[in-house]
Every structure is written in C-alpha cells, then in structure tokens.
Amino acid sequence: MRTHLLAVLAALIAPAGGLAQTTATERAAAAEVLKEIEALQAKLAPGQMAQRLVGARNPDRDAVMTRAAALWDERMEGLSDWIGRNPEVGWKEFKAVDTLTKVLRGAGFAVDTGVAGLGTAFVARWVSPAGPGQVLGLIAEYDALRDTEGAFHGDQHNAQSPISIAAALAIKGHLEAKRLPGTIKVFGTPAEEVGPPAKKIMSDSGVFRGTDLIVRSHASTETARARAGFGICCLNINEVKYIFTGKASHQLTAWHGRNALTAAVHFYTLVDGLRSTFRPEASIQGVIPEGGIAPNVVPQRAVVDYYIRYPDGVYLEHMTRMIDNAARAAAMATGTEVKVDRYGEFRDGITFGTLEELTFGYAKKLGAPNVDEEPQRPSGYEETGTLSRDAPGVGVSVFTSRGSYHTREMLADTFSEVGHRGFRLQAQIMAATLFDFATDAPFREAVKTEHAVMKQLFDRYQESLKKAYAAELGQPSVP
C-alpha cells in the first residue's frame, strides 16, 4: 500500500534524531522510549553484527544465495511475469493462488487454502525430517491494483510470491542436504491493497503464531533500510464506510422521500470543513461509490468510503470520532439514517535494527543499485502492525523500479531487467537472512531479544501518546 504518501512522509521527517518519528507530538511523547531504543541498539550493535555475518567466508550461505538466484532465473522470473500479465484484484486472486499452491505442493510443501476464512489465503508448510527447529516464515503477496482501466500490477506484487518461493526452496535445499532441523512456512496473504487488511485477519486467527522469523519483499524505488522504532509505510489508517439510508420516491413527489445522496453530499462537505481543525499531517481520502440508481428517483441509499490517515493511531481515533459525528449530523439534518462500517485498520509496526542492518548489508554486498545510506523512518515490516508484534521480521527493500509506486511505469519495470535484477537480489537477501537466523545462534538470540524489548517499548509509547493528546481528545490529563 505504498503510495505518494511516502513522499509526504519524507517531507514531514525532521533531521537527525527526528527521523525516529514523524510529528513533534510523537517525538515528544516518545522521547524516553527513543532513548531506550538507542540504548538497545548500542547494546545489540546490529551494524557490527551485520558486518560479521555479511563479511564472513561461508560457503554454505553463499551456496544458498546462489541457489536462490538460479531458482529465480530458471523458474520464478517466468512465474512473476505470468502473474503480472494476469492481474487479479484483492479477494479475487484465484488463478494466482491456484498456480502458486501447485508450485509449492510440487516442491514438497503441504498447503492449506482458505485459511482464516479467506478464500485466497493459504499457508504452505515444510518440516525437515531432522525435526521442526526454527520456524522460518515468508510473506507471499499477489494482488493487483485497481484503476479505471482495470487491474494492473503497478506495485509489483506479482513478484513477491515468486521471490519468496525462490528463497524458501533455497533454504529448504540447504536444510535437507545438511540434515538440519527447521520448518518453512510460506504465508499467502491476499488483498494487500484493499480492506479489510488480510494480514490482521490472519494474525487475529493465529495463523502466524509460533513463527520465529518472517521475511518479505516489496517493490522499491531505492535500496534502503529503516531505523529501529515504530511506524508504518503509509500512515495509520482507519478504513470506514458511511452508509446512508433514506426513503425512495419519484422526483415528482420528492417530499415523500428522504434523500440519502443529499445526506452523503452534506457529509462529504462537512468533512472538507473539518480538515482545518485537524493537525496538518492528517490525510483524508474519500469517494462516493454509491449514490442512487436513476436521476428521477430519490436515492434511498448512498455510501461514502473514506481512508482516514494520521502518523499515529491515537490521534487518528480523535479524527475518526469527529468524522463519525459529522456523518450523524448529516443524517439527522436530512431525516436519513447512517451506519458506520469501520471495515479495516492499519497500525504502526515495529522495525528491528538487527534485521534491517543485515538485509542492507547483503544488498550492498551483492551490488544492489540506487543505494540510500541514510536510515529511513521506521515503517514496520508490514502494513499491519499486529504482525510485527507476533514475530520479528523484515521487509527487504531493493531498487526494482524507476517509476513511482502505483504507476504504469512500475508495471513496465516489473518485466524489465531493472525489475528482474532487483527481484533476484531480494530472493538472495531473504535466503541469506533465513540462513543466518537458522544457523547463527548469537544473531538469532539478538533478534529475539530485540523483539521482546521492542514490544514492551511499543506499549509504553502508545500510553505516552494518549497522555500527550489528553486535552485535545477531551480527556483529563494524566500526570
């Protein structure tokens, strides 16, 4: 769900230590927590650990990386291109899921489909004959974008599942050859671009429970890594539909009706008026997907669909309450009724320095292009923060397109050498990260320690935000 909002975030970021959080309120509320994050990073020394692992002479790891690249070149590049040329929007990715699960079953994985009650979600599982060992997870996405011209892979999700399969098969081959314990799970996660967020549904259902590490990839306009901390790629989001219901009538006797579209338009205007009362970092995006059937019939149903966004989830709740009240006011003024359907939430995740530094180190070792040496704002490793609290993880960010996110230019690059090279590198980096986690005990313990501490700090950060916004939210201040 990376959009032009990444540019907005970049504009909001303050220099030096301010890179940790977006707004002044966040930075003030998180001041003590940020100090503890810095102390934790100093203790764990993720940069030095990454140098040790990346710089080590390790023929087994190199063989795993080579195998991941070969699998991409031989099979997965073609699979990525096929998914790219057969786009399916969220919740309708039936061809992609059918093909991906056949590939995984053919490679020796047991596959469960329809997990968490989602028709196009799956979990593929392989357990080493030597024992279950560490549970290594990989995220596989495959949904396409929507626009007026139809579905298209302008965010390169077509590549994410083939990348994960290449990395999974490479590490599987190593565990088999060396007769080492380990479990590999490929999580097929649908509908990344539409709500409600599938990964939260899957997380709430326990799908990721027991996973020791999760890795993923995503299209990127640069090769970069994020700072340890809390955040999300595209701001915290509440996805809300406001469904207005009135009474139909012919326009010749409109007074017998109650116009749901009029209520929706009034509501839409009220929200525009509210924008100046919200902090400047707020983003409110909306459409009216339903507004009646015929011009000469008073509309009895209208729907306004909003993405309400803010850099933190606490102030976002304040915004949403005010918008909810505006919807009720519009309904009251027009004699209609309104139902508030909050169908999706995206929240801050946790970014882990141990994993970010390692993947970035491998990216540079492999000669990934368009490198940005400055650590970016924390963005979690998934669009749904719940997942990063389930298990430590990382999203590999390697340059795969010269175009911006959600564009036809990015679609074109998915089939070009720019995309193919970046995807191959992502598969190699993910495979190497899984290898190091499975085979290097000090690194594995550092990741687990960071995850445990950062979860506690995240909870404290949320409480600090509630105190910071107390007066604005109409709540008594807390000492």
pLDDT along the chain (479 residues), means of 10: 42 40 78 93 98 98 98 98 98 98 98 98 98 98 93 97 98 98 98 92 96 97 95 92 97 96 98 95 96 96 97 93 98 98 95 98 98 93 86 97 96 98 98 98 98 95 88 61
Q: Which of 290, 317, 346 is the last residue of a domain?
A: 346
**Which helix (H) or strand (E) is 136 found in, with range?**
strand 135-140
| In a shared domain, residues 120 and 191 | yes
Do 359 and 340 share a structural domain?
Answer: no
Identify the pLDDT of residue 476. 53
Which residue type is seen at 157? H
Domain end among 298, 324, 346: 346
Which domain CATH number covers 458? 3.40.630.10
Specify the CATH number for the domain of residue 275: 3.30.70.360
Residue 342 structural domain: 236-346
Residue 3: the pLDDT is: 42
**How many whole angstroms separate alpha carbon 269 and alpha carbon 136?**
49
Residue 309 counted as domain residue: yes
pLDDT score at 21: 63
Angle subtended by helix axes 441-468 and 31-44, to nearest 10: 170
Give a yes or no: residue 12 inside a domain.
no
Q: Are 225 and 359 in contact (CB under 8 A)?
A: yes
Q: Do 105 and 253 belong to one domain?
A: no
- Claim to verify: residue 304 and residue 334 sit in the same structural domain: yes
Q: How far is it, in rounded angstroms, from Cα 36 to Cα 42?
A: 10
Q: Left if phi > 0, otherwise alpha if psi is -120 to 50, otherwise beta: which for 392?
A: beta
Same domain, 70 and 201: yes
Answer whether the bond into residue 196 is a cis peptide, omega within 30°: yes
Give the integer Cα–Cα distance in Å for 84 and 415.
8
Co-location of 120 and 171 in the same domain: yes
Report if residue 280 sits inside a domain: yes
pLDDT at 30: 81
Residue of 142, 4, 148 whose CA lies nearest to 76: 142
Regarding whether 194 and 175 lie in a shared domain, the answer is yes
Amino acid, res. 183: T
Q: Is residue 298 part of a domain?
A: yes
User: Are 176 and 47 members of one domain?
Assistant: yes
Residue 386 has a pLDDT of 85
Domain count across the chain = 2
Residue 144 lies in a domain: yes
Residues 429 and 361 in one domain: yes
Asked, for residue 6, whether it belongs to a domain, the answer is no
pLDDT (0 to 100) of residue 5:
40
Q: Report the pLDDT value the prediction gives residue 4, as an integer from 0 to 100.
A: 39
Q: Are residues 262 and 205 in the same domain?
A: no
In a domain, 260, yes or no: yes
Question: Do 178 and 65 fall into the same domain?
Answer: yes
Q: What is the value of pTM for the model shown?
A: 0.92
**Last residue of a domain, which of 289, 316, 346?**
346
- Do 258 and 312 fall within a single domain? yes
How far is 99 from 79, CA to CA, in rounded Å? 9
Return the pLDDT at 195.
86
15 within some domain: no
SS3 189: coil
Q: Which contacts of 252-259 are long-range, i.e. CB under 8 A and separated by 24 or more positions?
A: 252/296, 254/298, 257/298, 257/300, 258/298, 258/300, 258/334, 258/335, 258/336, 259/298, 259/299, 259/334, 259/336
